[in-house]
Amino acid sequence: MIGAGIVGGSGYTGGELLRLLHFHPEVTVTQITSRSEAGHYVHTVHPNLRDVSRLQFIHPDALEACDVLFLCLPHGTAATEIEHYAALAPRIVDLSADFRLDDTETYARWYGGTHPAPDWLSRFVYGLPEVSREQLRDAQYVSGVGCNATVTNLALLPLVRDGLVEQVYAEIKVGSSEAGNAPSASSHHPVRSGAVRTYAATGHRHLAEIEMVLGRETSVRFSLTAIEMIRGAHLLAHVTLRETQTEKDIWRLYRAAYNDEPFVRLVSGRTGLHRLPEPRIVAGTNYCDIGFEMDTDGQHLVVVAAIDNLGKGAAGSAVQSMNLMLGFDERTGLAFPGIYP
């Protein structure tokens, strides 16, 4: 049995991770830290885990050695303490943005400062199995993924790999949990409830991750809009294609790319309420649903995709990556199909 620790477990991502790992047959969470909640049972912060987990939060200074550590810390924190954590566990999955990017200049541009541990960047494998599966096998250190980047990358990757993309204009609608559990002016209920508020019309930092995965020569412009939703990221991307394609051509392309992917589902029906992806359907799961519609000219493709930002966009991908690191079936502990309605 693998002993796992969660550092920074009082946030939404830490709670989601604890929920997933509790039902993993090969892993036991032995410790979970929180400075503010030390001494309290986890269910006082994550009430869905009442009578499920009997763990209590411990102070980070009490953290002991274990087989794998999950770091769910604010951006910029893990990188300043990575040597400490590496001494406690042979394998680390960092869910922050600290080790996602592949060079220091890009990090400085998007995160506004010098990287605290530049020598460690090359040691981390990007934690999206659909992109880095072979590198993740037996990896020691794995980065987390950005939820907005993940839904965009998975939606567009088959088109980019086939050289079909000329230009992408996309909007991602996001739920309130993406902002974390710390109260702020933007999360105040009278402001957030009923919102359709574009908060990043251009230049969101997840674009750096998109460029890293899709290639910096791929022209992607995207905006983020907060809507009345708790979990989820919903992508609607208008893609100009370099060559005329039929809808059957696109189906063949996506099937070839994702038929063997356990957590990517193609959803593109001609009728029905759910003929295109919707975040509500994937809430609580590790799935990414992708669909599309081709315009009549054959060169304007609309791609729609949905994930749970706390699932496939964070904790789900982290567990899937851990499974690959440790030689487990990557689907282990991630079978939950969601609920409906």
| 85 and 196 inside one domain | no
Instruction: Give the DSSP letter string of 54-73.
Output: --BEE-GGG----SEEEE-P
Q: What is the DSSP pairing of strand 220-227 with strand 196-200?
A: antiparallel
Whether 337 is in a domain gets the answer no
| 227 and 128 inside one domain | no
User: What does each C-alpha distance from 107 to 115, 116, 314 come to in angstroms?
Assistant: 7, 10, 19
| 246 and 259 inside one domain | yes
Mean model confidence pLDDT for the chain: 96
Task: Evaluate if residue 245 carries a pLDDT over 90.
Answer: yes
- Nearest by Cα to 243 from 151, 185, 162: 162
Domain interval for residue 189? 147-308
3-state secondary structure of 23: coil
Contact between residue 41 and residue 15 where contact means Cβ atoms under 8 Å apart:
no
Among 6-15, 178-187, 301-310, the range scoring the smallest mean pLDDT is: 178-187
Place of tokens 């038929």: 259
Contact between residue 288 and residue 265 where contact means Cβ atoms under 8 Å apart:
yes
Put the strands of the sheet holding 300-307 in their side by side order: 196-200, 220-227, 165-174, 233-241, 300-307, 288-294, 264-266
CA distance linking residue 319 with residue 21, whole number of Å: 8
Where residue 254 falls among pLDDT bands split at 50, 70, 90? very high
Whether 341 is in a domain gets the answer no
Whether 334 is in a domain gets the answer no
Predicted pLDDT of residue 339:
93
Task: Evaluate if residue 145 carries a pLDDT over 90.
Answer: yes
Whether 204 is in a domain gets the answer yes
Predicted pLDDT of residue 62:
97
Whether 340 is in a domain gets the answer no
User: What does each C-alpha distance from 200 to 55, 157, 174, 205, 223 come to in angstroms?
Assistant: 38, 23, 11, 10, 6
> Strand pairing partners for 198?
225
In tens, the pLDDT along 55-95 reads 999 999 999 999 999 999 999 999 999 999 999 999 999 99
| 135 and 157 inside one domain | no
- CATH code for position 252: 3.30.360.10
| 9 and 87 inside one domain | yes
| 138 and 183 inside one domain | no
Q: What is the DSSP pairing of strand 141-143 with strand 124-125?
A: parallel
Place of tokens 């060559």: 243
| 23 and 84 inside one domain | yes
Predicted pLDDT of residue 204:
92
The residues assigned a catalytic role are 147
| 130 and 208 inside one domain | no
Task: Evaluate if residue 272 carries a pLDDT over 90.
Answer: no
| 282 and 162 inside one domain | yes
The arithmetic mean of pLDDT across residues 193-216, rounded, is 94
One-letter amino acid for residue 304 of the chain: V
> Strand pairing partners for 26?
none
Whether 164 is in a domain gets the answer yes
Task: Evaluate if residue 209 carries a pLDDT over 90.
Answer: yes
- CATH code for position 100: 3.40.50.720
| 273 and 251 inside one domain | yes
| 34 and 181 inside one domain | no
Whether 13 is in a domain gets the answer yes
In tens, the pLDDT along 317-336 reads 999 999 999 999 999 999 99
| 136 and 153 inside one domain | no
Predicted pLDDT of residue 141:
98
Total structural domains in the chain?
2
Among 187-191, 235-239, 323-327, the range scoring the smallest mean pLDDT is: 187-191
Task: Evaluate if residue 269 carries a pLDDT over 90.
Answer: no
- Locate the DSSP E strands across 73-164: 91-94, 124-125, 141-143
Predicted pLDDT of residue 268:
82
Flag whether the pTM goes above 0.85: yes
Whether 338 is in a domain gets the answer no
Predicted pLDDT of residue 259:
96
